[in-house]
Structure 1
Amino acid sequence: MDPIKNKIQNSSRETRQDLLGKILSYSCILLIVLVVLSIFFFVASKGIATFTVDHGNFWTFLTGKTWNPIVNNAKGQPEIGALPMIVGSFGVTILAALFATPFAIGTALYMTELASKRGERLLQSVVELLVGIPSVVYGFIGLSVIVPFVRNHFGGSGYGILSGSFVLFVMILPTITSMTVDSLRSVPRFYKEASLALGATKWQTIYKVILRSATSGILTAIIFGMARAFGEALAVQMVIGNAAVMPKNLLSSASTLTSILTMGIGNTVMGTVGNNALWSLALVLLLMSLLFNILVRLIGRKGRM
């Protein structure tokens, strides 16, 4: 009977351990969900407060071209138009993605299809090094190198969307590269073997088979890189000029949602129109991050189908 009792006791002990593990796991999941919902509720409540005191609605806030939330104009009303910052954020994000994508795909293809083991390890180390460099270092390099380069070769003051795009290009390059490498490595090996067996060349196999099979993963990498660029603050703030006006071209000073937030949030009083307007910018930034996540989900679901 002793072996039977021991077996029952062991089974009961394992059952209690499983129950305790489930309780801990679900508690952690619930805590994470509550934290995320709390962040959304807090930012949304602060951001919506701007439109409850007769300062326009959310649409006029998104389409307004004048940002003057503290100093009153001739009409005695603050102007809180976020369109210049939205245009600046999308401008540097899209340009950085356009610059980084060809380099990232080329690097990923070399690492997965052409490089030796030693070359692959070397490039992997370089990519990891780029990830570990702080944003302020990128911003200082952009201020010291990219801004004078743009000023001397393209004109203008050197500060603007083009300079911000060059800085973000380097910053998001390792993100897109790493995710693209993972996507290329996830392509089934027999796809490549079948293509080569049918007489296709190596480059035909890469272009016709490997890249097309990894398209959803590459698009996901690009979206993640754009999300990284859209939320960057310090490095862009140092090279974009921080002028809250509609940019006339890529060489004129501009601003982004994050640059205006970081410069203004410490200089306003909680509850004032200027502070609420900054929280409205934070709400727009949060909604854009949510949009990027939704796009990633849709692309991933299409890839699985």
Structure 2
Amino acid sequence: MESVASTAKDRLIKSTKRKNHGESSGKVIVTLAALIIIAATLSMTIFLSIKGMQAFIINGVNPIEFLTSTEWNPTGENPEFGAFPFIFGSLAVTLMAALIAGPLGIGGAIFMTEIAPSWGRKILQPIIELLVGIPSVVYGFIALTIIVPFIRDYSSGTGYSLLAGIIVLAVMILPTITTISTDAIAAIPNHLRDGSYALGATRWQTIWKVLLPSVMPSLWTAIILGMARAFGEALAVQMVIGNVRDLPGSIFDPSATLTSIITLNMGHTTYGSIENNTLWSMGLILLLISLLFILIIRFLSARRKI
């Protein structure tokens, strides 16, 4: 009996040691992964900050003029470095795309969760997943084939315009907004719906007065995430927006974004030149505005937990 008890005890001790060893190994692997992510993020941020500041510190570009001037002529006899048209183009296409995709995405989420929950997801969910999987270049090529000629036929311009970029980005960020909004609305406790119906509210009154206010921070988070996605898009927008250096007078005029100018010009500049450094400065502006989007999302997430 004593030998049997001793054997069982030894097995228990060995099993406990194996579990502790496995738990310790898991903690090490997870911690290492977290440290790698933190180090990579900090490294890229520091590198981009150093490169982005060189135009102002080493080359003497006036940061105020860089942010506010509308003249961009880096190769002329008197070079000018005004990035305001590109900053405006990036913000314009992002905000207007969100104005289109936001209501559509939230409306689709309401349809899938409240109007037709039984079959709505079966139809819309595969479509949303399909939109997510389409590469950016395909979006740009479709817009170049359909949207640009359509705008050209019904306006006085060439079709390459701010509006074309807005439509492309609206379609590209629609899956993000729809998916997050759907998950947020579906997570609302049923007792809120039941209580509203018990008080005599209609389905639309319940959606408008009860459900949407309760998940509004999550819906705003979905829209901001979509805007962050749109703000960093380069290829699809570059193919249809026109890539000019002037401020657009209307949505039918061509424009340019920070990402499109960087991708078009970076390969034609000499590393360390003033033009190359100003393009890095545009990259720094992209980083700072993306950081602003993240801070807004964090604020909305904190409100959602209250």
The TM-score, its normalising length taken from structure 2, stands at 0.95
Q: CA RMSD in A?
A: 1.3
Give the equivalent residue in structure 1 for 2:275.
Answer: 274
Give the equivalent residue in structure 2 for 1:139.
Answer: 140
Counterpart contact for 1:242–1:259, Cα < 8 Å: yes
Alignment of 1:161-240 (within 5 A): 161-240=162-241
The residue identity in structure 2 corresponding to 1:105 is I
Give the equivalent residue in structure 1 for 2:3.
Answer: none
| 1:65 is aligned to 2:70 | yes
SS in 2 for 1:276: helix
Q: What are the Cα deviations for residues 63-88 of structure 1, in whole angstroms up to 9, with x where unaligned?
A: 12111223332xxxx22111110000
SS in 2 for 1:105: helix
Counterpart contact for 2:66–2:81, Cα < 8 Å: yes
Counterpart contact for 1:244–1:255, Cα < 8 Å: yes
Counterpart contact for 2:165–2:240, Cα < 8 Å: yes
Divergent runs of 4+, >6 A: none
The residue identity in structure 2 corresponding to 1:236 is V
Distance 1:37 1:70 in 2: 33
Distance 1:257 1:196 in 2: 50
Counterpart contact for 1:105–1:177, Cα < 8 Å: yes
- Which of the numbers 41, 61, 65 marks the counterpart of 2:46? 41
Deviation at 1:135, TM superposition (A): 1.0
Deviation at 1:23, TM superposition (A): 1.2
SS in 2 for 1:117: coil
Alignment of 1:51-200 (within 5 A): 51-73=56-78, 78-200=79-201
Deviation at 1:291, TM superposition (A): 0.8
Distance 2:77 2:113 in 1: 58
The residue identity in structure 2 corresponding to 1:190 is H
Deviation at 1:54, TM superposition (A): 4.2
Q: What are the Cα deviations for residues 144-201 of structure 1, in whole angstroms up to 9, with x where unaligned?
A: 2111222222332222211111111111111111111011111111100110011111
Deviation at 1:58, TM superposition (A): 2.7
The answer for unaligned runs of 5 or more in structure 1 is none
Distance 1:23 1:128 in 2: 35
Q: What are the Cα deviations for residues 228-267 of structure 1, in whole angstroms up to 9, with x where unaligned?
A: 1111111111111100222222222110001001101111
The TM-score, its normalising length taken from structure 1, stands at 0.95
Give the equivalent residue in structure 2 for 1:257.
Answer: 258
Counterpart contact for 2:59–2:274, Cα < 8 Å: no
Counterpart contact for 2:224–2:297, Cα < 8 Å: yes
Deviation at 1:118, TM superposition (A): 3.0
Of 39-48 and 9-18, the range deviating more from structure 2: 9-18
SS in 2 for 1:271: coil
The answer for unaligned runs of 5 or more in structure 2 is 1-5
| 1:12 is aligned to 2:29 | no
The residue identity in structure 2 corresponding to 1:53 is I
SS in 1 for 2:260: helix
Counterpart contact for 2:111–2:117, Cα < 8 Å: no
The residue identity in structure 2 corresponding to 1:49 is Q
SS in 2 for 1:37: helix
Q: What is the number of residues matched between the two proteins? A: 301
